[in-house]
């Protein structure tokens, strides 16, 4: 199939959603939340949209449809909560490094004790018995819904194209190429290489925001590829905002309740996101060091898993004089605990340098929580007139904003957070699937008419 050709006239009968990474992942950050919810909602919309929709998972050399589970298969949360805290070490970073080392040792020992080929065969056999084999081909649109940049999905994409499938790629952001200063080389280089392949192999692209769609379209034009796509090949959809795993994780630990007490007078400012340079936690701490000099009872609660290029920041938090008094940090909150924090915080502070969407902004607004966000285009798109925006390049603007709130007890005038509305995940998934079909030149409503006429 020629890369220069637009999606062919073949009617799309199946939408195949590639979900492998999330299916076998323990992570609950933004991408995994999107994949989980779109996969869970998509099959319910098959009849409405007039196409068969299947989340698929790669096992060995095959794709299978497997029972979709809303929760991770690995006991990472149990490990993090009940084992890792008791490893020797002065702080979170020491325990984090030791835990990683012990896991690597465990993997080495397992490889020595078990025949690798046999174990892989038995694992693949186990999963194969639970699912139906799917071969992407003509009449299918094969959509890379999951993280396509960190594993070898492209040979399977090439095979699907050869059989006549139309290829769709979901774009979460372009940050490793547009903001490379926030990433290590082992992220930047594979991402840039995979993005180039995506632009060559993909027939259409569906972004998670208008800003990401526009950035991708500009980036693709700058690459001067040997073919140019129609404007309609670049699309976007709106994300849902609900925390989907609350019902599976209902207990809120006492340490979380102490950080976010029910007393509104002690409510903390909350920030949510992986601890890594792009999230701008350094500015946040710099600002609160000034705020605490005037308002020592102001509280800050940092929520996010340990990411990359953050060792100095994590140590700074855990060695801070206010740590566990007015400064709190959690790396392992469940959805139930995160919801509790949203419900008992004073405001969300989201100071990111750059985002693809910024799910915590909409999650907080859905809980009626005031939001103070960095003044970047994606936050303006997502938060609209419901957020207060500040300059994220120096702490002074945030210091002034928070001290005014502490002094007056009032937030700057914006639209009320409880009036904020976004699609739920069902509506978001419907919009996403409609965009996929439209990019293939197909109206999702037409198959319904055909079925009723028959």
Residue 77 forms part of a structural domain: no
| Separation CA 207–CA 172 (nearest Å) | 6
Both tokens of residue 165?
């499938």
Q: For residue 213, is it within any domain?
A: yes
440 plus 316 within the same structural domain: no
Average pLDDT estimate for 370-387? 95
Looking at the fold, whether 288 and 217 belong to one and the same domain comes out as no
Q: How many domains does the chain contain in total? A: 2
372 is in which domain, residue-wise?
246-419
Distance between CA atoms of residues 117 and 88, nearest Å: 36
Residue at 121 is within a domain: no
Tell me the CATH number at 322.
3.40.50.2000
Per-residue pLDDT tens digits for 222-271: 887 766 677 789 999 999 877 655 555 568 999 999 999 999 889 999 99
Mean pLDDT (whole number) for 90-105: 59
Mean pLDDT to the nearest integer, 108-132: 57
Q: Helix, strand or coil for residue 168? A: strand
Question: Are residues 354 and 438 located together in one domain of the fold?
Answer: no
User: d(Cα 134, Cα 59) in Å, to the nearest integer?
Assistant: 11
In a domain, 63, yes or no: yes
Average pLDDT over the chain, rounded to whole? 83
Are residues 401 and 340 part of one domain? yes
118 belongs to a structural domain: no
At residue 249, the pLDDT reads 55
Q: Is the pLDDT of residue 84 over 80?
A: no
Whether residue 268 sits in one domain with residue 411: yes
Examine residue 6 and state whether it is found in any structural domain, yes or no: no
* 176 lies in the same domain as 290: no
Calculate mean pLDDT across residues 128-155: 86
User: Is 296 in the same domain as 252?
Assistant: yes
pLDDT (0 to 100) of residue 62 = 84
In this prediction, residues 394-400 reach a mean pLDDT of 96
For residues 192-215, average pLDDT: 94
% of the chain residues with pLDDT over 90: 58
Whether residue 236 is contained in a domain is answered as: yes
Q: Is 196 in the same domain as 254?
A: no
The answer to whether residues 232 and 334 belong to one domain is no
**Shared domain check, 437 and 393:** no
Contact 374, 353 (CB under 8 A): yes
If asked whether residues 198 and 321 sit together in one domain, one would say: no
pLDDT at residue 91 greater than cutoff 70: no
In a domain, 225, yes or no: yes
Which segments within 36-176 are labelled E, that is strand? 52-59, 62-65, 132-134, 140-144, 166-171
Same domain for 324 and 394?
Answer: yes
Residue 75 scores a pLDDT above 90: no
């Amino acid at each position: 199939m020629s890369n220069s050709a637009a999606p062919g006239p073949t009617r799309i009968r199946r939408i195949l959603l590639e979900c492998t990474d999330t299916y076998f992942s323990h992570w609950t950050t933004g991408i995994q939340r999107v994949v989980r919810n779109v996969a869970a909602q998509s099959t319910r919309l098959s009849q409405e949209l007039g196409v068969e929709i299947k989340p698929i998972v790669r096992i060995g050399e095959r794709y299978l449809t497997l029972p979709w589970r809303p929760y991770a298969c690995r006991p990472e949360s149990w490990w993090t909560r009940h084992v890792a805290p008791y490893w020797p070490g002065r702080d979170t970073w020491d325990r984090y490094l030791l835990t990683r080392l012990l896991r690597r040792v465990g993997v080495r020992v397992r490889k020595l004790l078990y025949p690798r080929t046999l174990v892989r065969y038995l694992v693949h056999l186990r999963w194969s018995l639970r699912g139906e084999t799917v071969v992407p081909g003509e009449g299918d649109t094969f959509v890379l819904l999951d993280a396509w940049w960190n594993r070898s999905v492209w040979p399977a994409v090439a095979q699907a194209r050869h059989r006549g499938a139309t290829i769709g790629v979901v774009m979460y952001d372009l940050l490793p190429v547009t903001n490379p200063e926030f990433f290590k080389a082992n992220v930047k280089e594979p991402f840039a290489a995979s993005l180039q392949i995506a632009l060559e192999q993909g027939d259409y692209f569906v972004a998670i925001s208008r800003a990401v769609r526009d950035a991708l379209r500009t980036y693709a034009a700058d690459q001067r590829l040997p073919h140019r796509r129609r404007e309609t090949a670049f699309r976007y959809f709106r994300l849902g905002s609900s925390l989907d795993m609350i019902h599976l994780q209902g207990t809120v630990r006492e340490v979380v309740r102490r950080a976010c007490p029910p007393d509104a007078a002690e409510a903390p400012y909350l920030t949510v996101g992986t601890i890594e340079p792009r999230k701008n936690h350094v500015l946040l701490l710099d600002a609160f060091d000034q705020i605490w000099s005037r308002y020592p009872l102001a509280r800050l609660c940092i929520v996010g898993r340990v990411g990359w290029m953050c060792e100095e920041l994590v140590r700074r938090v855990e060695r801070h004089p206010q740590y566990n008094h007015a400064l709190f940090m959690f790396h392992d909150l469940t959805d139930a605990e995160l919801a509790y924090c949203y419900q008992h915080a004073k405001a969300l502070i989201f100071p990111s340098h750059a985002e693809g969407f910024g799910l915590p902004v909409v999650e907080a607004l859905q809980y009626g929580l005031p939001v103070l966000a960095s003044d970047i285009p994606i936050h303006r798109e997502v938060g609209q007139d419901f957020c207060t925006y500040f300059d994220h390049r120096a702490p002074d603007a945030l210091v002034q904003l928070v001290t005014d709130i502490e002094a007056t007890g009032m937030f700057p005038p914006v639209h009320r957070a409880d009036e904020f509305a976004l699609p739920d995940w069902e509506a978001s998934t419907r919009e996403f699937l409609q965009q996929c079909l439209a990019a293939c030149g197909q109206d999702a409503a037409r198959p319904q008419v055909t079925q009723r006429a028959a």
